[in-house]
Amino acid sequence: MTDQPFKTTVVGSMPKPDWLMENLPLNTKGKQVHGKGANWQFEGEILEAALDDATRLTVHDQIIAGIDIISDGEQRRTSYLTYITSKLSGFDYDNLAEKWTRNNRRLAEVGQCVGPIKRVNNLLSKDLEFLKSQTALPVKVTLPGPMTVVDSTFDNYYDDEVKMAMDVAVALNEEALALEKLGVSVIQFDEPVFSRYPDKVVDWGIQALDRCVLGLSKSKTAAHICYSYPMPGVPRPIVDSYPVILKALEDSKIDELALEFEASKLDPKLLRLCPSKTIMFGCIDNGTHEIEDPDSIAKKLLVASQHMPAEQIQAAPDCGLLPLPLDIARKKLKAMVAGAHQARASLKI
């Protein structure tokens, strides 16, 4: 990957076609994003073929939009998190428990940790191999970060969130090392809960995140920190936690940070706190159907470049685009790419 200013990328998730999975709000009772999730529209071999087709579609959408670094849109996942945790030993998703998550933001039905957490099988190797077969562009894969896994599950075994997080980190690191061997360009760890627990980030969150990337040398590593998906009827307070988080992340082993700036309206001056990192600068809001203006996106990217070299800034959505209708997500990505191109051209004037 070259050091081109304002490359474009996605955070991870993309909307699923209506024909693939039932379309439910992310906080639907009994089918919440950290529980069993929504149902697929197909079963068996037909479902496997449909998942392949949905992945082909989202790759096509990103290529057509002009995205430089793409994902599989998490089309095979009913949840960005439980798709991974349900494949680790130690978790039970047949018997859910209620738990206040995200620092009491919402009461969720979550899986339970009932034993030692270990990686017993490959998690994403087949998904990555299929993604790479569909494009020659650089690709990223996403994994839920340790602190987010701890917050999104009910601990019925460890009684020690740090020990639980470190076991999660060891398991994720084993997976990351396997993915690196397959040639993935970026391995991203999603840590939306960092914004809700800045003190924990400093105390042990960075340590657990660094354990996830131990031994990686070829793939770039990233951490995604936002304020979580917008959900109907659920408050989404933007707390002043980025200053603490970014100072701590500057000393981490992570290469890239995906940060929310559009919906949160945070000051790009915060980028000065993490000068060594590549930043996926959130300039697309996944909580509104309004299509951002490319001119406005370009201006925001150029403002960000006053605080960090443009070669270290990538244009990205605030978060995954899963909550949006597919046609809206496509238009937003095209607007984002157009804005990035305008900003890049402005640098040459």
Q: Say which CATH number the domain at 256 has.
A: 3.20.20.210
Assess if residue 110 is contained within a domain. no
Assess if residue 38 is contained within a domain. yes
Assess if residue 51 is contained within a domain. yes
Give the neighbor-by-neighbor strand order of the sheet with 278-284. 7-8, 313-317, 278-284, 256-260, 220-225, 186-190, 140-144
Residue 14 domain boundaries: 7-76+136-143+184-347
As a whole number, mean pLDDT of residues 253-272 equals 97
**Model-level pTM?**
0.96
pLDDT score, position 182 = 98
pLDDT at 1 over 60: no
Share of residues in the chain with pLDDT > 70 (%): 99
**Count of structural domains, the chain:** 1
pLDDT score, position 349 = 64
Assess if residue 292 is contained within a domain. yes
CB atoms within 10 A of CB 203: 12
- The string of pLDDT tens digits covering residues 147-172 is 999 999 999 999 999 999 999 999 99
Assess if residue 284 is contained within a domain. yes
pLDDT score, position 249 = 98
Q: Place 6 in a pLDDT band, splitting at 50, 70 and 90.
A: very high
Share of residues in the chain with pLDDT > 90 (%): 88
pLDDT score, position 28 = 79
As a whole number, mean pLDDT of residues 91-98 equals 95
Q: Place 111 in a pLDDT band, splitting at 50, 70 and 90.
A: very high
Mean pLDDT of the chain: 95
Query: What is d(CA 3, CA 203) in angstroms, rounded to the nearest whole number?
Result: 33
Assess if residue 212 is contained within a domain. yes
Assess if residue 233 is contained within a domain. yes
The alpha-helical segments, DSSP class H, found in the chain are 44-65, 82-85, 125-134, 146-151, 161-181, 198-200, 206-212, 242-250, 294-304, 326-347
Assess if residue 41 is contained within a domain. yes
Containing 111, the helix (H) or strand (E) segment is strand 106-119
